Amino acid sequence: MLHLTLFTLLVVISAPAFAQGRLAWETTDHAFGSVAEGEDPTFTFAFVNEGDASVRLTEVRASCGCTTPSFTMGDIAPGMRGEVTVVYSSTGRPGPFTKEVFVRAAGAEPSDQTLFIRGEVIPAIVEQGVTQGNVRFDSDDYDAMTVAREAPVSHTFRMQNAGERPIRIREARTFRDGVEVTYPSRPVFPGEVVEITVAAPAAGAAGVLDLAVTLDTDDELQPAKSLRVRGRVE
């Protein structure tokens, strides 16, 4: 009985450890910094299998549709390198962002890893907009084309504070009855993008459509800002 016990113990001691892969990532968190809106910044997360068994990436999933991952397919043997490439779509997404990519590797311990990308999208209006003092608009003159007499008219302008101090819109003045202007009641901070909507319940009488708006601000460089929605009423 003693001999059998010793034999069993020797078998357990001499049995090889269970082979396992292990992913050693170069980094799991990447900061892009500032990105111009419209660019698709890309980063490749690289790893080496430092275990003693092959692994396979079975699931690579982003936290939202604005982030697209691709990855190394097939078995990754010990000592071999693998990659997860992440592309972020910045179009229409101004402001700071933090996105996650979940990775699952069969045969690895641990099997799960979360990758992060970060940055800030600088709105396109910074480069392409219309400047009025310390403010930039995506446009300050919108052509509504042809509008039916009873049809409502509305357009939303995007405005960015391009200065170094907060700017507040104190008042919006219109030159036609029934026109409403919606804007933030709080200060607009440097770099921030806000929306200003000019709307009328109906285009009005046939002829020229002209919804002119003056924004009274505390911008020291140019206090008065002008916006216009134009068109033709059938």
Q: How do residues 91-130 score in pLDDT, each as one tens digit?
A: 878 889 999 999 999 999 999 999 999 998 887 765 678 9
Residue 68 pLDDT: 96
Structural domain ending residue among the three candidates 58, 87, 122: 122
Domain residues for the domain of 26 are 19-122
Which pLDDT score, from 0 to 100, does residue 13 have?
46
Whether 11 has a pLDDT exceeding 50, the answer reads: no
What is the Cα–Cα distance from 48 to 26, expressed in whole angstroms?
8
Q: Are residue 177 and residue 227 in the same domain, yes or no?
A: yes
Please answer whether residues 193 and 123 qualify as being in contact, where contact means their C-beta atoms are separated by less than 8 angstroms.
yes
What's the CA gap between 224 and 222, in Å, rounded?
Answer: 6
What confidence score (pLDDT) does residue 221 get?
A: 95
The residues with which 196 forms a beta bridge, in sequence order, are 157
The whole-angstrom separation of Cα 64 and Cα 142 is 33
Which range is most confident: 44-53, 139-148, 160-169? 44-53
Query: Would residue 117 count as lying in a domain?
Result: yes
Alpha-helical runs (H) found in 65-164: 125-128
Query: Cβ distance 155 to 124 under 8 Å?
Result: no
Rounded-to-integer distance, Cα 190 and Cα 163, Å: 6
Distances (CA, A) of 43 to 40, 57, 97, 136, 192: 10, 18, 15, 31, 26
> Of 122, 155, 190, which one is at a domain's C-terminal end?
122
CATH code (residue 96): 2.60.40.10
Q: Quick one: tokens of 83?
A: 């990659």
Residue 123 contacts residue 96 (beta carbons within 8 Å) = no
Question: Would residue 4 count as lying in a domain?
Answer: no
66 and 84 fall within a common domain: yes
Q: What is the dihedral of CA 178, 158, 136, 170, to 10 degrees?
A: 40
60 is a domain residue:
yes
pTM for this one? 0.57
Tell me, what's the pLDDT at 181? 97
Q: How confident is the model at residue 5 (pLDDT cuts 50, 70, 90)?
A: low
Are 24 and 111 in the same domain?
Answer: yes
Instruction: Give tens-digit pLDDT for 25-34.
Output: 999 999 999 8
Q: Domains in the chain: how many in total?
A: 2
User: Are 49 and 21 a contacting pair, CB within 8 Å?
Assistant: yes
pLDDT at residue 169, as a whole number: 97
Point out the least confidently predicted range of 40-54, 67-81, 190-204: 190-204
Q: Is the Cα dihedral 19, 21, 24, 29 positive or negative?
A: negative
14-28, 148-162, 196-210: least confident range: 14-28
The 10s digit of each residue's pLDDT in 50-95 is: 999 999 999 999 998 999 999 999 999 999 999 999 999 998 788 8
More confident residue, 139 or 11: 139
